[in-house]
Amino acid sequence: MFSLEELRQTPALLKLDLYCRGMRILSSCDGGNDTGRGVLRTRAGLGSGLEIILPHGLWTNVPVTEGFAKSSPYALHRENDQFLLMRGSEIVAPVQLSPRPKWYDKLTTSGKKMTRVGTLQGTYLAIYPAKVCDYWVQKPDKVNCRFCSVGLNLGVDDDTVKSVEEVMEVVRAARAESKITYVDFNTGHYEGDTYLDLLEPYITRIKKETGLLVGVQTPPHPDLGRYDKLRAMGVNRVSFCFEIFDRERFREVCPGKHAQYGMDRYLDAIRYCASLADRGPATEPWVVNGEIIAGLESPESSIRAINWVTSVGAVPTVCVFRPLAGTDYAKLPPPDPEPLVPVFRRLYEACMEAGLPIGCAPNIHVSLVMLPEECKELSTRHYRWQELKLAALKRGLGWYLNRRFTKAEARA
């Protein structure tokens, strides 16, 4: 177990440890004015916890409802309106609940609770705009990814139908109050590969009316030319979740993805999309992500995945496996954090060695994963020249985008 000293000095270790061990919420937190965002089951799995902000501004979503969290060494305690993260009788660190925006309690004009349309994950707006992934309803046997909870969330905390108007209302509310800069769309698999067709009307309106950054996470479309079109539309991020780099494990953990697409389709799409960086509007940043789950294969295999993704010019997204209540993997133990440290160290180092644009977009804090730049303190290597380049890029991009968003708001 990490020492308290290590956890206090290196918030990335604390974020990782909380993903793996979860947290209990003590009765001292009951009542009071500051209730945070509550616990909402959204996305394919990782949004099930409590959103809090750790020291050094690390936003995180801490498991609190799963079985393993009930025996966590960590506990959230409130004392004089200050939230403290405890381990036994020791204070690990003061923390904040992620602020609950007023729009969380508002309704759309159509009468839907806005959180059933979209929710904040960290500081960006996340939307799962369509019906449940077809893998959850396939007959005779479901072929959903074994860790995934999408089929348990939709219709519970997340609505199954979200019109473009409803999404636009929530985007505007989230921009006005929460100052979001980025909207992320996520879909599962749909027969006929309709996922990009479904998303394009939302993307067009958001780009035209707000100028916000927009990303999509879908299966890899068979027509790679569709990504040229997305790039031309001003989409800023495409993300492909192949989850597992070990092909045998991929087949076991993601039977639907394996049968329908196969790992190579994911890798081809990542490689192709990364090649579009210089082939689109210069005013639109472009990032390609390859997403994996650490803890469902060996750390060595996760590191191989990181090395492959960065080698083609894409940025790895590394989630930590969470055995979510109700899923096929609910009874598996969460991963041990210690063996995952080299994975997250490599995440930072590989991005810096490949000169990838990490941590540059304004006001994007991600609660569901450890961002590459958050893992800097896990490494003893220095990349001074690359850090200078990233700092300059961040300043320029922040200035340009904030101006663009403000102009769009003035026009609205």
Residues that bind ligand SF4 (CB under 6 A): 44, 133, 135, 144-145, 148, 150, 188-189, 257
- Smallest distance from ligand SF4 to CB 202, Å: 18
Q: How far is Cα 49 from Cα 62, in angstroms, rounded to an integer?
A: 5
- State the nearest-atom distance from the C-beta of 324 to ligand SF4, in Å: 11
Q: How far is the CB of 310 from ligand SF4 (least distance, A)?
A: 23
Work out the number of other CB atoms within 10 angstroms of the CB of residue 143. 19
Closer CB to ligand SF4, 188 or 313, in the complex: 188
Question: In the chain, what is the straight-line distance between the N-terminal and C-terminal CA atoms, in Å?
Answer: 52
Neighbouring CB atoms inside 10 A of 179's CB total 13
Identity of the residue, 77 or 142, whose beta carbon is nearer to ligand SF4 in the bound complex: 142
Report the DSSP beta bridge partners of residue 182.
213
Q: Which one, 18 or 148, has the nearer CB to ligand SF4?
A: 148
Q: For residue 124, give both structure tokens.
A: 């960006």
Output the smallest distance, CB 144 to ligand SF4, in A: 4
Q: How many CB atoms lie within 10 A of CB 141?
A: 7
Secondary structure (DSSP) of 175-238: HHHH---EEEEE----TTS-HHHHHHHHHHHHHHHH--EEEEE-PPPS-THHHHHHHHHT--EE
The residue (of 148 and 244) whose beta carbon lies closer to ligand SF4 is 148
Q: How far is the CB of 238 from ligand SF4 (least distance, A)?
A: 15
Nearer to ligand SF4 by C-beta: 292 or 358?
A: 292
Helices in 275-383 by DSSP H: which ranges? 299-311, 341-353
Contact 217, 241 (CB under 8 A): yes
- Of 11 and 219, CB closest to ligand SF4: 219
Smallest gap from residue 255 Cβ to ligand SF4 (A): 9
Phi, psi of 234 (to 5 degrees): 100, 10
What's the CA gap between 41 and 25, in Å, rounded?
Answer: 18
Dist CA 282 CA 292 (whole Å): 29
Q: C-beta of 196: minimal distance to ligand SF4 in Å?
A: 15
Q: Identify which of residues 44 and 196 has a Cβ nearer to ligand SF4 in the complex.
A: 44
